[in-house]
Amino acid sequence: MEKKGRIMKPGKFSFYLSVLCLSILFVPSDLVATSKEIKIGVIIPLSGPLAPIGRTLKEGADLAADMVNGKHPGIGISISEWEGIPEMGGAKIKLVFADSRGDPGWGAEQAKRLIKDEKVVALLGSFQSAVTRAASAEAEKASIPFINPDSISSDLSKRGLKWFWRLTPHETWFIADLFNFLGGLVQGKASGVKAIPKSELEPLAVAVENTGWGLATLTEIEKFSRERGWKIAETFKYPHKATGLTIESRRLIASQAPTYLFASYVADAILLVKTMKEMKAAPFLIWGQNGGFNSPEFAKVLGSDVNGMMSRNLFSPLLGRVKPETARISKLFKDKMGYDLDGNSARHFIGVQVLAHALDKAKSTDPKALQKALNELHIPGKELIMPWRGVKFGSPFPGDTNQNELGSGIIIQYQGYPDGKPEIVFPFEMATSNLIYPFPGWK
């Protein structure tokens, strides 16, 4: 015969239910916090030709998330002491990575998937400007924050979007840096060099490869030269991947310009230097718009011939000499990954850092609260590993919307090669070495 169970009296049931509810309510807050997870989607190229860069982007973002979620005393920036988002009960960040494949259409699909299926509260990415443009358009439709740490096409921040914020300086900014550098030379701001008469630096000669990047650089140089009152003697475009640059080098020399400005990819940059050396060109100053002038192959192939030349850049581990926080984080990165933090990994580190600060300020993952927090955010430069004065979104150039107005690039100069390092010479207050001027020429 089946034994019947005891039926609990209504009064006792209510009592035990009350005890159970109270026990749930009074679980220690630190235990509740550990169950909270904030998903952030990261869209970057993880396959194809850009996969090596995608790996560095991922590793920079991962390091920042680890720093937010755990405790790393002695680093000197606030997120290293947090152990989760403080104003959200110690909630942890979880990065959900998606491969853009370097394709704008696929990047847009990944944005939709991360928003709809993964329920991310914000998106980060996407390195290539075309992918960023497509993916951020999907975030705009969904009213989800999209943080862009690294794409430099100037038009990205001129679309009037309400859910897009860019951290990195863009192309216009880099040319502004160039003319700030030239103006600083005239004012005597460069370390180790007396004030240089403007007449000694102008007119300028500009040579660019004829793709969109080169043409955009030329347009910006011409615009700033007019606005800042610098004369240009010669400008020309040459075929991308040219097999010979003899005529172009002759034009540079014939211009009698003391300052040469270039936008060249690596093969072109190497060929230009070799040809100018053969022709005994004797400029006082040579500057490259990143690209080939900043490629490791450039210095490897040319050796001591690179000495004295300069290139626009975004980041250098040497910033650690003037920013102790950069030195400590760079060491953490190198100890973990086996190679140096670079401009790509550093900017994605800051991308996660900025979202963490916005979440803490918003005290919520609500999109509207995050939007408001990002619009009002101000992170001082001492918190950052980049050479920036901070993070504050505004309109630093006409038409910009939600562009970090406290950013800047750097200008490096090759010194002491074949065994030397690219030293920082701009911003002047962050210089790691005296400027070599004039250009010493080729032996």
pLDDT in tens, 389-418: 999 999 999 999 999 999 989 999 999 999
Mean pLDDT of 69-84: 93
| pLDDT tens digits, one per residue of 175-210 | 999 999 999 999 999 999 999 999 999 999 999 988
Q: Residues 330, 341: contact at Cβ < 8 Å?
A: yes
Question: Is 348 strand, coil or helix?
Answer: helix
State whether 356 and 376 are in the same domain.
Answer: yes
**Is 222 inside any structural domain?**
yes
Q: Are strands 310-313 and 410-415 parallel, antiparallel or unpaired?
A: antiparallel
State whether 195 and 62 are in the same domain.
Answer: no
| pLDDT tens digits, one per residue of 302-320 | 999 999 999 999 888 899 9
How many structural domains comprise the chain? 2
**Is 101 inside any structural domain?**
yes
Q: What is the pLDDT of residue 24?
A: 43
Domain that holds residue 86: 33-169+321-404
Predicted TM-score (pTM) of this structure: 0.82
Mean pLDDT of 270-281: 94
Q: What is the pLDDT of residue 214?
A: 87
CA distances from 37 to 3, 85, 93, 95 (A): 47, 10, 6, 10
| pLDDT tens digits, one per residue of 104-163 | 999 999 999 999 999 999 999 999 999 999 999 999 999 999 999 999 888 999 999 999
Residues facing residue 390 across a β-bridge = 380
Contacts of 257 (CB under 8 A, 6+ apart): 202, 203, 204, 205, 233, 234, 283
Pure H helices in 316-363: 324-337, 343-362
Q: Which region, left, alpha or beta, applies to residue 209 given φ > 0 means left and ψ of -120 to 50 means alpha? A: beta
Element (H, E) at 409: none
| pLDDT tens digits, one per residue of 5-25 | 444 455 554 544 444 444 444
CA distances from 150 to 35, 213, 304 (A): 32, 16, 31
State whether 114 and 218 are in the same domain.
Answer: no
State whether 306 and 342 are in the same domain.
Answer: no
**Is 443 inside any structural domain?**
no
State whether 144 and 71 are in the same domain.
Answer: yes
pLDDT bracket for residue 432 (50, 70, 90): very high
Cα separation, 273 vs 277, in Å, equals: 6
Question: Closest Cα partner for 61 from 82, 46, 81?
Answer: 46
Q: What does DSSP assign to residue 154?
A: G
Q: Which residue has the higher pLDDT, 230 or 24?
A: 230
